[in-house]
Structure 1
């Protein structure tokens, strides 16, 4: 028997939850289908290494208006990650140790120069195509590596700035668009320091799970877990959504929140536009890892940092538990570090802090996960000007939503919520 709804939302990450809630509050009948056995998408609070850890997206900030509004709506608390007391970095083939101020002093000039025109290009960050034209097309064709090449920084500063952008893109900066970096900085009022704070300082005390579950409870509609969509057929009266179990679900509209890298995993009939297909085939930049590492003993807070060729480019002490310390670390390419191999992770960590005794590690392979295919969304050169408008444009009854398709804080929880709210508003306006 075919089930009928006003809107079917594919995916129960923050974009899908935001869209479903807004639609329900406007009186639409909604069904959310989610392939995973949980809500949250590429955020995932889970009990690992003796405490709740964030395997995916984590940090939030009051400079991010959509997620901050949700935090206030549901009365959630934030806490800060520990302030590092020392810094370790690798550059020029050597290990260095000093204060965090010394490390960030080496980054400051290069980061500021690499982003100095952010507000010039994106005066209104939530209208990234406001200055569309040949000049923006040319800029969008540049990679972040191209931009840093132009700066002619001293070798150590050059290596560290490249490492910072490998961290931010969670992938090779040769395949990361300079416009993506400038959009992020423009959203942070043109300040790379504020951008860095927003990326890794404040987190939800009860975890991202608390926000996802609060939004899910506010939907007042069924969220059907363990339900994989295989085909979406569009006709004059709406859509039919087919699942791997053989169910056929019909609706007037469908909101699809698949990340860009797996957009091609669903059979759309008729096919999505040529531009959407191109974006899916190209994929976006991120292909890295986030690893939680438990080390023996309580270690005073520190940060480590390295260039783009390091298996781990960044890490910091995040928690203490039962007399041990838990670190969080990032590497730009999963292919260069087997994050399931404790010995390999230990070797990568010991390049910075050789005295640490690694007890255990935890991670999730988001890039290899068939339900994500990536970590956080970061555009490749050319995708802002060639793809974003089309990705945001509905195709009759099919609407894309997700952090990868956001206009503001794309790649963040904030961008996912923004995109979901906008999709719901478009559908409501046309009902």
Structure 2
């Protein structure tokens, strides 16, 4: 049997849910197909280690306009982890200790020099390709740009580790323009960028946002429903699931991440740029690890270097007799988020007084539905592929945080892209009505 819908949205993450909500407000019949057994995509609140933990995307900020609009719409509360009282970082192989303010002062000269041309290269971050000269620097990776600064060892390692935390990728793989895009979104302020990307989170977890959006749409939302094939022509499309269900639609919205999109069987095939972007892959291939340690402890953060399995760790929850840390590493192949012994060894880079009780996480790089963490592009991908990744192909449209203009890779970017594509679809259907 073949079903009918005005629009089929493939993917029930934030972008897909926003798209469905906005199209439903226009009176369109929308079906959302999500392969996972839950909604949210790469945002996922799960109860582990005695807390509600963000296994995927976490942080948002009032400088992120689309996300903050949703916070306001649904009256969601914002919180943050405990403010660090101690700091640890490396100067070569020597561990230094100090304060958060001291660490920020240490990295400030390097950050300023690295990012001095941010607003020259991306003067309008909502339109990242607007400056023709961007192509001149899009071929550079962040490692090379950091090396050009010729920083003292302690400053270099501190800046390196901070960027590994932001990129969740080896710096030689990440495009310098990715750093510029993040900083342009905060008008060139690296301090504000750092805060916007890593401090404030939803008190009810990202789950509260996902549930609020899903409850605010009358779309037919189906989980555990994987798409096997999409056929399309000028008049519409047929979406076939892995269980043989067929749904005809006037428009289809695909919200798959860059590393997955080009692998979806589509007839006629997607454009060469979208396929090439998938084949090359994003730079982001890192790991996020949640760690429960015996307490009490003083809240702290620590940075090591790109050569260590875990480059960044900080206290996110403090209890009477335990604490939960969140940590990031550049390469998921180097450490499993579920390997307690390996995580314990990684923490000894900074301190050997922590008793690790439990660890957890999710390997997003190995996950066939994501194959990446958050978007960090490789050199040349922004100027070579980005416009084509956003561009509709006939009745097919493309949403997702990977294809956002302003805060690509963030919850904000997913929301932005959902609004953009909903407008495109509505306009297209109005023209053909």
Q: TM-score, normalised by structure 1?
A: 0.98
Structure 1: distance between partners of 2:223 and 2:112: 45
State whether residues 50 and 321 of structure 1, in contact with CA within 8 Å, keep that contact through their aligned partners in structure 2: no
Identify the residue that residue 100 of structure 2 maps to in structure 1.
Answer: 100
Q: Deviations over 1:20-75 (max 9, x none)?
A: 11100111110000001111110100110011110000011000000000000000
Partner deviation per Cα, 1:258-294 (whole Å, 9 max, x = no partner): 0001113310111110111111111111111111100
Q: Does residue 1:386 correspond to 2:379, yes or no?
A: no
Listed as ranges, the gaps of 5+ residues in structure 1 are none
User: Within 5 Å, which residues of 2 pair with 1:9-158?
Assistant: 9-132=9-132, 135-158=133-156
Question: Residue 183 of structure 1: which of 178, 181, 187 is its match?
Answer: 181
Deviations 1:377-402, CA, capped at 9 Å, x for gaps: 11110011110000010000111111
The residue aligned with 1:314 is 312
- Tell me the distance in 2 between the aligned counterparts of 1:160 and 1:321: 29
Deviation at 1:322, TM superposition (A): 5.3
1:339 Cα deviation from its structure 2 partner: 2.3
Shift of 1:91: 2.8
* 2:408 counterpart of 1:410: yes
Conserved 8 A contact 1:79-1:205:
yes
Q: How far apart, in 2, do the equivalents of 1:48 and 1:126 lie?
A: 37
The aligned runs of 1:181-260 (5 Å cut-off) are: 181-260=179-258
**CA deviation after TM superposition for structure 1 residue 79, in Å:** 0.7
- 3-state SS of 1:294 partner: strand
User: Match for residue 342 of structure 1?
Assistant: 340
Instruction: Indicate the SS of the match to 1:36.
Output: coil
Which whole-Å CA distance do the structure 2 matches of 1:9 and 1:339 have between them?
Answer: 32
The C-alpha deviation readout for 1:179-237, integer Å capped at 9, x for no partner, is 11101100011111101101111100000000001001111111100000111111232
Displacement, 1:87?
A: 0.2
Aligned to 1:59, the other structure's residue is in SS state coil
Q: Secondary structure at the match of 2:285?
A: coil
Is the partner of 1:380 in helix, strand or coil? coil
Give the whole-Å Cα distance in 2 for the aligned partners of 1:25 and 1:294. 44
Matched, 1:372 2:345: no
Is the Cα contact below 8 Å between 2:390 and 2:403 reproduced in 1? Answer: yes
Q: Hey, what's the Cα distance between the residues in 1 that align with 2:263 and 2:359?
A: 31
Higher mean displacement: 236-245 or 59-68: 236-245
Cα separation, 2, equivalents of 1:298 and 1:30? 50
CA contact (8 A) 2:290 2:337 kept: no
Give deviations 1:268-321, integer Å, cap 9, x for gaps.
Answer: 111110111111111111111111100001211111111111111111111124
The CA RMSD over aligned residues, in Å, is 1.0
Q: Does 2:267 correspond to 1:269?
A: yes
What CA distance in whole angstroms lies between the structure 1 residues aligned with 2:268 and 2:385?
19
**Structure 1 runs of 4+ with >4 Å offset:** none
Give the TM-score of the pair, scaled to structure 2.
0.98
Contact 2:122-2:134 at 8 Å conserved across structures: no
SS of the aligned residue for 1:174 comes to: coil
